[in-house]
Structure formats: C-alpha cells, structure tokens
C-alpha cells in the first residue's frame, strides 16, 4: 500500500476557527482513503505561511529527507508556503528524495501522474521564471542607484544617519570613527582601541569600520551575495575620513594580515601539546616580542576572565615554555624512542610516503583540522574574531575532527594492526616517518609528528624555571 502523510496549516487561531484545520484534515483523509493511501501521520501548524521555521513543517522536511513515506497530501499549495522561493526549494527537496505530492483542491498539482507531473513542472517553472525576473529587475535598479552614488537603503554605517534617504554625518558618532582611524594609524591594535575607549563591539567590528569605504566617501555594491560584478563609485555623501588616511589604513591592515599568516606557521608542536593541569591545548604565542622569541602557553591561562566562562569558568596556573627548548626536548625524546625501536630488530626502513595508508591520510586531515582550530582560537584571542563566530567555527571543526576520528577507528578495526604489542610494521612506519621530519618545513613536520604522536602532556608550574618542565609523550600505534 502506498504510504502518505498529510500536512495542513492555517495562519492564525482566528483563521483556524473559520477555515478549520479539522475541515482540511477531513478532506485530505477522505482523499487518501479513496485513492488507497495508508496515512502514516497528520502534521499541522497554526502559523503564517511566510514563516519557514514552523515546527511541523520542519518535521515534514525531516521525513522527506529520511524518505519515510511516498506521497505528501496537502489541502492546497499555499499551505506549504506563501513565498515563491520556499515553494521552489521545497519542490526540489521532494524531487531529490523521490517524494510525490498531491493538492486535494488543485488537481493540476499531482506529481503521481505524468500529466500532473508535467503541469506541476510548468507551474513551478513559471514561479521560478517570475522570481528570476524580479531579482534581475531589482538588481539592475540597485546597480543603477549605486552607480549614481546613492545610498541603497538598510542601516547606515556607524557615524552616519539617514535623512530623506541620504547619508548625513552624525557628528557625535563620527568623532568616534575618526578616533578609531587615527589611533590605528598611530600603531594601536584593534583590541587596544576597544580597551582604550571602552568600546563594547569587539575587535571584529572595529576592523569592519576600518575597511568600510563609505567613510572615505564611496559607495560599494555587489560584494556580497552572488552578483557577478561589483562597483565602487564616489558617493553623494560627505566623507568622515580622508581618502589618503583610508588607503594608508588598508595598507596597514594588509601588512598585519600577512604578518599574522606567516607567524601562524612557526610552531612545530601545534595541536600536540596538552596542559596536564587543566587539559587544554598549549598554543604558540604571537605578536610583539613573541615574534622574535617564541613561547608556548596554555590557552586557558591566556583568556580574559570573562571569556573563561566558555570553558566553565576554569582557570590554569601554569607557566610559559620557550619554543626552542620544548621542541628540542620532544625531538630528542622521539629520537630516543626510534633508536630503541631499531635496537629491537634490525629493520630495513621502507621509503614510503606519509600519506600512503588510509590511516595516514585521516591522521594528516585531523592534524590540519586541529591546526585550523588553533588558528581560529588565536584569531579570537587577538580580538580579530567575535566570540559567537569563534564558538560556531570551533564547534564545526570539532565535528569534522570527530568524523575523521571515527573513520580512523574504522580503519584500525579493519586491518587489526592496533594490537597492544608494537609489531614489525608499526616500528617500520614510526622509524620511516621520523626520518622524513624536516624541522625547517614546519607545516609538513607538524603533520608527520601528528602521525607518530597522539599527544604530549606538559606539566609546568608557574613557579619553576623556564626550562624546568615535564613532558609525557603518547605515541599513535600506527
């Protein structure tokens, strides 16, 4: 028997009383019975058709993606949505998952028959055609307005206000904008500007202000979205910042961005060091004197007290460790391990690439993801990434890491090489990988180390000397 579900909707409680969900459901059930459908469920919402986050509407989408039924029965097409864009997207979702739909009161919308499928395709094609034309006309009109230097609408940038649809300088706020540009030109960092003037926006908002051409008297359109072109023209508004100062700030931003990209690759043990006291990563410090002499530090210790709430209000009382010292110790300890493995048996080291095995590829990918996560963390700590954005991106990467780790575990089970005893093949791989390490090529060396090392637990109380710390290396059994 063909399986179906029913979806009905009214916009308000008042409408529900007049049009009645009960009546819609009754007609849909009668239709299903006459056509020989087995109804698996009835889902209804009392919300506007312009809202796409209706609870039971979302549930229906989930059932479509799960292919839990064959045909969706509705009272009329407008019960799905009042927005053409959503109707098109919904139609594509059903088509992708092989789900038919029938409108009880609109016989032309019936994808279970060849004629109905054709008519439905034509109807949705017309909707898409009209939508595309509307978008095209709107886009052309906006490009024309932008080309004339007119403000295109929306919230004006901080420092301006809208008067008769024109940008007018708000003198009180414009003073803050001028100060931000002036201080950045004097050498203040984004975070320092926030702290100095008690700005609650965060460094990312300050950066957006510094990059906004509107303050130099220009209008840009076409940067966002999927437009194929973008334009930058002289606006019809007065600038707050001179063109010369604005361009100098852009050069400084670009220079610092390149400098940051370079310094983010300096640390050999990125993603491998774990603080034994709190369990969080030790990260490479950057900026200022740390660009000359590198240090690793527990990232939890580096956070502001207000940001430690992300990690449950934890604190950490550990010390920094000089980069050259701990990297030298780790490489030396690893060499001792490799030498001891060679002594176990006379092993001919195979000349294989790091990426040769599936497990190797997964481990390299996990390392790359961990490095990305650490880089995002450093952006957040430097004030160049807002907290909410940091948490979202960090969680997304963590989910990817978990997926890769699951695949890695599957590979471990597949070839059963992860026994308690380190067999000949494992020794060969560790020795082979170790021989490929080139400390000058930090990125590649870090990836290779991550194949050999699962983690390095670090214990360094703040009261001890810089070179007085303890490490314990946990190897990956490859």
Which CATH number among 3.30.70.940, 3.30.70.20, 3.40.50.1390, 3.30.230.30 corresponds to the domain 2-133? Answer: 3.40.50.1390
For residue 131, count other CB atoms closer than 10 A to its CB.
15
β-strand 218-221 against 231-234: which pairing, if any? antiparallel
Alpha-carbon distance of 309 to 391, in angstroms, equals: 12
What number of CA atoms fall less than 13 Å from residue 96's CA on the CB side? 11
**Exposure on the CB side of residue 389, measured as CA atoms within 13 A:** 12
What is the C-alpha separation between 216 and 246, in angstroms, rounded? Answer: 6
Instruction: Tell me the whole-structure pTM to 2 decimals.
Output: 0.35
Q: Where are the domains of the chain?
A: 2-133, 160-261, 273-475
Residue that the structure tokens 């220009």 belong to: 218
Query: In 3D, which of 308, 440, 284 has the Cα closest to residue 387?
Result: 308
Q: What are phi and psi of 304, to 5 degrees?
A: -70, 155
CA 16 to chain centre: 41
**Contact, 287 vs 264, CB < 8 A?**
no
pLDDT per residue rounded down to tens, the chain (478 residues):
789 999 998 876 545 444 578 888 999 999 999 989 999 999 998 887 778 888 899 999 999 999 999 999 998 887 887 676 777 788 888 888 999 989 888 877 788 877 777 776 666 666 656 655 555 555 555 455 545 546 656 678 899 988 887 888 999 889 999 999 998 888 888 878 877 777 766 777 888 899 988 898 887 655 444 444 555 667 778 899 998 889 888 888 887 665 554 444 478 898 899 998 888 888 888 766 677 788 898 887 777 655 555 555 567 888 899 988 999 899 988 888 887 776 654 433 333 343 445 666 777 777 778 777 777 776 766 667 777 787 888 888 888 888 887 777 776 555 443 333 445 556 677 777 788 888 778 877 888 888 788 889 999 988 888 778 999 988 875 4
Which of 371, 361, 341, 375 is closest to 451 using CA atoms?
361
Closest to 447 (Cα-Cα) out of 358, 336, 363: 363
Q: Supply the CATH classification number for the domain 160-261.
A: 3.90.1750.20
């Amino acid at each position: 028997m063909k399986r179906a579900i029913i979806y009905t909707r009214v916009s308000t409680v008042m409408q529900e009383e007049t049009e009645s969900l009960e009546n819609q459901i009754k007609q849909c059930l009668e239709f299903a019975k006459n056509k020989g459908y087995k109804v698996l469920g009835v889902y209804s919402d009392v919300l506007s058709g312009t809202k796409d986050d209706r609870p039971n509407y979302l549930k229906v989408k989930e059932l479509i993606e799960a292919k839990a039924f064959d045909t969706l029965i509705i009272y009329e097409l407008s019960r799905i949505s009042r927005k053409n864009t959503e109707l098109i997207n919904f139609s594509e979702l059903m088509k992708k998952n092989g789900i038919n739909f029938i409108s009880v009161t609109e016989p032309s919308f019936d994808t279970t028959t060849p004629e109905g499928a054709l008519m439905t395709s034509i109807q949705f094609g017309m909707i898409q055609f009209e939508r595309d034309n509307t978008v095209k006309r709107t886009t052309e009109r906006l490009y024309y307005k932008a080309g004339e230097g007119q403000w295109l609408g929306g919230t004006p940038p901080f420092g301006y206000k809208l008067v008769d649809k024109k940008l007018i300088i708000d003198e009180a706020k414009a003073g803050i904008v001028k100060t931000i540009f002036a201080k950045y030109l004097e050498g203040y960092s984004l975070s320092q500007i926030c702290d100095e003037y008690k700005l609650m926006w965060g460094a990312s908002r300050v950066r957006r202000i510094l990059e906004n051409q509107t303050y130099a008297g220009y209008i840009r359109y076409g940067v966002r979205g999927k437009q194929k072109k973008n334009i930058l023209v002289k606006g019809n508004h007065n600038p707050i910042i001179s063109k010369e100062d604005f361009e100098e700030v852009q050069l400084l931003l670009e220079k610092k961005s390149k400098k940051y990209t370079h310094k983010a690759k300096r640390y050999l043990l990125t993603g491998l060091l774990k603080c034994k006291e709190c369990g969080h990563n030790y990260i490479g410090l950057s900026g200022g004197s740390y660009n000359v002499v590198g240090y690793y530090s527990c990232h939890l210790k580096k956070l502001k007290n207000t940001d430690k709430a992300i990690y449950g209000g934890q604190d950490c009382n550990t010390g920094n460790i000089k980069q050259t010292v701990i990297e030298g110790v780790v490489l030396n300890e690893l060499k001792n391990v490799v030498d001891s493995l060679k002594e176990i048996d006379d092993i001919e080291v195979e000349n294989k690439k790091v990426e040769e095995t599936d497990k190797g590829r997964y481990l390299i990918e996990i390392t790359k993801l961990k490095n990305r996560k650490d880089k995002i963390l450093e952006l957040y700590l430097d004030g160049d990434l807002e907290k909410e954005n940091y948490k979202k991106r960090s969680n997304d990467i963590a989910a990817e890491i978990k997926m890769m780790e699951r695949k890695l575990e599957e590979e471990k089970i597949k070839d059963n090489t992860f026994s308690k005893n380190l067999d000949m093949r494992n020794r060969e791989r560790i020795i082979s990988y170790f021989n490929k390490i080139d400390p000058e090529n930090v990125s590649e060396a870090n990836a290779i180390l991550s194949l050999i090392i699962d983690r390095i637990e670090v214990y360094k109380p703040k009261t001890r000397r810089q070179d007085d710390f303890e490490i314990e290396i946990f190897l990956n059994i490859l």
